[in-house]
Structure 1
Amino acid sequence: MTNGDAMHSIAALFSAVLALTFVVVPLDDRPVTAQLPKLLGAIAGVQVVEPPVPLLGRYLTPGDPDAILRWLRSEAPADARAYIVSNDMAVYGGLVASRIPGVSRALAYTRVSDLASVRASRPAASFAVFGTVMRLAPTGVPATGGAKTFPFAGDVWPLVQTYANLPDPPQTAEQQALAVRLRARLGTNLDAYLATRARNRDVDLFALRTEAEGGFDRVLLGQDDAGPVGLHLRDLAALRRFSAAWLTPARASIEPGADELAMVLEGAALAREARVVPRVRVIYSRADGGTVNDPLEFAPIATTIDDIIRSCGARQVAADAAADVDLFVRVPATSDADEQTFVARIAGDAPPRLRAIADLSFLTPDDYVQQRRLTGDLIDAGVAGSIDAFASWNTVANTVGTALPEAIAVIAGRRLGTYDARAHATFTLMRYVDDVAFHTVVRPKINDDLSAGGIDDHTYLEGDVARRTDAENRALLWPAGLDLLARIAAQYRDAGFTITLPWDRTFETKLDVRLAPKR
């Protein structure tokens, strides 16, 4: 070990001893829900502690809520400044587990009350709880192998999804007739789905009531994938009525989103610790960009973005006002002329403002050329590695709820004197590799290869198929990741790059990236 390495190690140990600590109970064990909150904290020099991984479950296997509650009471760091807890994990065992029958209302209420008792024993810490309003579609898996007995598997879940997406109640004669046919085909499966929706709504209401009685400091409910029509609207109306009657917007909010909610609340906790309310200016790639509606969200993107800015502890400012963060939002169907102007504005944006980029090109499905365009333009302009935040995945809330907290972590870290440039570069590089290289190049290729081999359902892979797919993903994504590293963060070298499929499906990948300064 060189003297420089030794000094770095000593400095790192000293920082770790003095670091602020947050406790996060994630939605599940996926990278976006469990890994990213830790990496986000690292940017600001904050230690993020989570329950042991085995307690979080994996895909169709639920986590262990009772063990997690015991961990919170007796093993979580006593000096944590903030607790950010997934109600779905603490009550049901995770997001997938929240969509199926099994946990009774009585048991769910008991677990929410237990969570409030943990909060009562940590009076010096902030305590935020986040939950999801159940999405319209059940978890879709084939009725084979280990998934054969999973609720709503096989041919059931698409029928349930079709029913749930109808207007409530159905409006036209055609919709009414379809609802009757679906009820007849689904039978007890529909009863079980509707009972699960009702249970989840009541548990969300109980969490809001617990908050109103002082049990928590903040409750954030995110509407999981659901558009402007469907059964969820009745649930949202009930939750909003209670919230409006008994809680202020600072204590409780209901907005689109799910997977990003821990990062959003972590951004708010970081801003609070740094004693800053970041000013955010939103800049769209085309003049009417804010009117675009994500089909998986119930509000236009301008509404979603405004909600996330507030929930991150920031505030939105006018186009001509002073800002701490310029949030650049790229929407689909941006013309060539608008694209050039947009990229030029990103490249010309000057400190002390931070540049956060939310690329929503994925809202045009399967248009991979468009989805790669902005990243290519940023690389060509020489700014892909110097921006302060980037995200481009799945939904508007997912993307903005990743990019904006990353920018806030930079602000907080610099104000606290604990900013970590290498952690920042790692986080940003991983978004380019995952959101762009994996989702627009590698994932389509492995899906095509599976289909060519006669495997058309990519939501649940088993045995040799899962192992071969995992190996193919690694073989394709590793060189793509190294290429992006060389083009985006050339001041660093690869010191360890592990690539896996965390669940037995092709929807997401997991990256464990270690960067080291070039000698």
Structure 2
Amino acid sequence: MSVPTRRIAGLPVDARPVVREQVQLLVSKAGWDLDMPAPASLGHLRRPAERDALAAWLENAAAGADALVLSLDMLVYGGLVPSRFIDDSLANLSDRLDLLTRLRAAHPHKNIYAFAATMRMSNNNVNEEEKLYWSDYGMAIWKWSYLSDRHAQLGERADGDGAERAAAAIPLAVRQDYLATRERNLALTVQALDLVAAGVIDRLVLPQDDTADFGFNIAERRMLEQRIAAAGLADKVLVYPGADEVMHTLCAHLVASADSTRAPLAFYLHCSDPANVGALRALYEDRPVLDAVRCQVVAAGARVCERIDDADIVLAVHTRGAGQGDWAMQRPLPDPVDIDPAWIEAMTAWHSAGRPIALVDLAYANGADPAMLGELAQRLPLAALSAYAGWNTASNSIGSLVAQCVLERGNATDKEMLTLRLLEDYLWQAVLRQAVRLGATESDFDPARLRQRVDQVFRAHANAWAAANGLGYEVTDITLPWDRTFEIGLRLKRTA
């Protein structure tokens, strides 16, 4: 007799393939279904989703699901990006959050997992995903935020003076509007904490989206952590860097915790630059990168072990120096160190001995380290990796990779997800996207022509590279989910 497939009803942060269909693919490999709304119903970049329709979909889907994993940013604001500027009142948004209480009453024994990002502090003047005034005052708002909080924590007069100068460069109306939006969003997060205390939400992640070590958002984090501790909720509420990867993480935790016969997956950390990695703080994050690794492992229901003999899988952590580069912002590595051949030799030996190897590539934000992958491929075929990630922020990469390992128990026999990540994170983000950006200005192309241009640059090269590396898949279709080159959607088919 066949065992019925278990089902999760989910709301992702938006419709991008990396946070929706790729998570569905991973969950399916664990023998579960992840049911999510169609992409067209999840909004588009700045355009919020139709939230009333999503609420109706969720109430219907919950009836046939074993558990729920929900982005509260999608449920309440219509998406992660709209959460930063949508002008709904706190009362209206609270009404949308009340759906969780009704779902709990209707399904008292089903797990409800949820996540809600702390509103990010973007350190540039790009308003594509922010309030429109960010193009004029974004950097000033970031400085005001960072220096105000650092002054409050450390008491340095120079920080206080700098905060005053930054604030003076921002019109009063803009400052008031920005703080009011933060205050409203924080109030919704506190309400979500209250739902955990009331037993409505079983597990809540509050990821810190695009942050630094000080700022208005870090002050909010400290307040939330104090409330969590005071309420005794530390075993149910987690706060750490990330955002886009949390659907992966919570699905992995849910699936892993449903199987009481298996011990938590054990990761052995193998760092490429041990001399620097302990002090390395990744771009857009508020803590050392190894702390972020441990947060993500715990969040997915796994553990870090100290001895290779106790490990289920090797987690190879690649960094190069005391700082990160950034492909999206076209920043080179600030102080690159050579890649240690012994790091690669150890992975080769472990692979020969039958140990799975998962590689998280953190030398750069927003893309891979081509130099490292080139050296690795000479000793260990890239197709031999169990998992790989090098996209967006460090915690986006870490969390999605750890979740994949947990869902596949570290033994990925099918290379579809590995191929997707290598083609997107390495070949697209770090190599061919850079060629497209050098050759043309994106704003000069309408969406159809931009997609055609990307297809011309990418598809043949990608398929030749995938074949040369024995990955067993080829690209059949390319999309630009948000009509820009920062994200890419790939359809693959098996070739071997």
TM-score by length of 2: 0.88
Letter in 2 for 1:387: L
Equivalent residues of 2:269, 2:316 under 8 A apart: yes
Letter in 2 for 1:132: A
Aligned residues: 474
Distance (whole Å) between structure 2 residues aligned to residue 373 and residue 111 of structure 1? 48
Instruction: Name the structure 1 match of 2:329.
Output: none
Letter in 2 for 1:349: W
Instruction: Name the structure 2 match of 1:475.
Output: 456
Greater alpha carbon shift after TM alignment, 286-295 vs 308-317:
286-295
Q: CA deviation at 1:291?
A: 2.4
Instruction: Name the structure 2 match of 1:11.
Output: none
Equivalent residues of 1:81, 1:124 under 8 A apart: no
Distance (whole Å) between structure 1 residues aligned to residue 478 and residue 200 of structure 2? 40
Instruction: Name the structure 2 match of 1:504.
Output: 483
Q: CA deviation at 1:232?
A: 1.4
Deviations 1:33-67 (A, max 9, x none): 12221121132232211012222100010112222
Equivalent residues of 1:442, 1:476 under 8 A apart: yes
- Residue among 319, 332, 352 paired with 1:331: 319
Equivalent residues of 1:324, 1:352 under 8 A apart: no
Instruction: Name the structure 1 match of 2:324.
Output: none
Instruction: Name the structure 2 match of 1:441.
Output: 431
1:69 is the counterpart of 2:55: yes
Instruction: Name the structure 2 match of 1:26.
Output: 12
Equivalent residues of 1:429, 1:484 under 8 A apart: no
Deviations 1:101-153 (A, max 9, x none): 4122112222222123213323343210011011112896569xxx9x96335
Distance (whole Å) between structure 1 residues aligned to residue 15 and residue 75 of structure 2? 13
Taking the TM superposition and a 5 Å limit, the aligned residue runs for 1:11-160 are: 18-74=4-60, 76=61, 78-137=63-122, 141=126, 151-160=132-141
Distance (whole Å) between structure 1 residues aligned to residue 378 and residue 301 of structure 2? 34
Q: CA deviation at 1:77?
A: 5.5
Residues 505 and 157 (structure 1 numbering): CA distance in 2 closer, same or farther, change over 3 Å? Answer: farther
Distance (whole Å) between structure 2 residues aligned to residue 89 and residue 493 of structure 1? 33
Q: CA deviation at 1:353?
A: 3.8
Greater alpha carbon shift after TM alignment, 94-103 vs 84-93:
94-103
Residues 202 and 384 (structure 1 numbering): CA distance in 2 closer, same or farther, change over 3 Å? Answer: same
Query: What SS does the aligned partner of 1:329 have?
Result: strand
Q: CA deviation at 1:167?
A: 3.6
Q: CA deviation at 1:352?
A: 5.7
Q: CA RMSD in A?
A: 2.6
Equivalent residues of 1:164, 1:230 under 8 A apart: yes
Distance (whole Å) between structure 2 residues aligned to residue 391 and residue 302 of structure 1? 16
Equivalent residues of 1:388, 1:406 under 8 A apart: no
Query: What SS does the aligned partner of 2:65 have?
Result: coil
Equivalent residues of 2:147, 2:162 under 8 A apart: no
Query: What SS does the aligned partner of 2:87 have?
Result: coil
Residues 506 and 296 (structure 1 numbering): CA distance in 2 closer, same or farther, change over 3 Å? Answer: same
Equivalent residues of 1:446, 1:469 under 8 A apart: no
Residues 56 and 278 (structure 1 numbering): CA distance in 2 closer, same or farther, change over 3 Å? Answer: same
Instruction: Name the structure 1 match of 2:494.
Output: 515
Equivalent residues of 2:77, 2:86 under 8 A apart: no
Residues 112 and 140 (structure 1 numbering): CA distance in 2 closer, same or farther, change over 3 Å? Answer: farther
Distance (whole Å) between structure 2 residues aligned to residue 287 and residue 197 of structure 1? 38
Equivalent residues of 1:326, 1:354 under 8 A apart: yes
Distance (whole Å) between structure 2 residues aligned to residue 254 and residue 233 of structure 1? 11
Instruction: Name the structure 1 match of 2:237.
Output: 252
Query: What SS does the aligned partner of 2:369 have?
Result: helix
Residues 117 and 246 (structure 1 numbering): CA distance in 2 closer, same or farther, change over 3 Å? Answer: same
Greater alpha carbon shift after TM alignment, 252-261 vs 190-199:
190-199
Distance (whole Å) between structure 2 residues aligned to residue 261 and residue 435 of structure 1? 18
Q: CA deviation at 1:184?
A: 4.6
Q: CA deviation at 1:374?
A: 2.5
Distance (whole Å) between structure 1 residues aligned to residue 54 and residue 122 of structure 2? 27
Distance (whole Å) between structure 2 residues aligned to residue 394 and residue 87 of structure 1? 21
- Residue among 291, 300, 305 paired with 2:288: 300
TM-score by length of 1: 0.85
- Residue among 416, 419, 438 paired with 1:429: 419
Q: CA deviation at 1:206?
A: 0.9
Residues 167 and 341 (structure 1 numbering): CA distance in 2 closer, same or farther, change over 3 Å? Answer: farther
Gap runs ≥5 in structure 1: 1-13
- Residue among 175, 196, 211 paired with 1:190: 175
Greater alpha carbon shift after TM alignment, 31-40 vs 309-318:
31-40
Q: CA deviation at 1:254?
A: 0.5
Distance (whole Å) between structure 1 residues aligned to residue 473 and residue 207 of structure 2? 38
Deviations 1:266-315 (A, max 9, x none): 11122123333111111111223232111211000111111111100011
Deviations 1:463-515 (A, max 9, x none): x443332222111111232123213335x353x62112111322111112222
Distance (whole Å) between structure 2 residues aligned to residue 179 and residue 313 of structure 1? 44
Distance (whole Å) between structure 2 residues aligned to residue 396 and residue 181 of structure 1? 29
Greater alpha carbon shift after TM alignment, 131-140 vs 276-285:
131-140
Residues 150 and 193 (structure 1 numbering): CA distance in 2 closer, same or farther, change over 3 Å? Answer: closer
1:282 is the counterpart of 2:269: yes
1:354 is the counterpart of 2:356: yes
Query: What SS does the aligned partner of 1:29 have?
Result: coil
Asked which structure has the greater RCO (Cα within 8 Å, sep 6+), the reply is 1
Letter in 1 for 2:393: T
Greater alpha carbon shift after TM alignment, 501-510 vs 81-90:
501-510
Greater alpha carbon shift after TM alignment, 46-55 vs 199-208:
46-55
Greater alpha carbon shift after TM alignment, 378-387 vs 230-239:
378-387
Deviations 1:414-439 (A, max 9, x none): 7xxxx8x4xx4111100000000111
Q: Matched residues, percent identical?
A: 25
Query: What SS does the aligned partner of 2:250 have?
Result: helix
Distance (whole Å) between structure 1 residues aligned to residue 171 and residue 487 of structure 2? 30
Query: What SS does the aligned partner of 1:188 have?
Result: helix
1:486 is the counterpart of 2:487: no
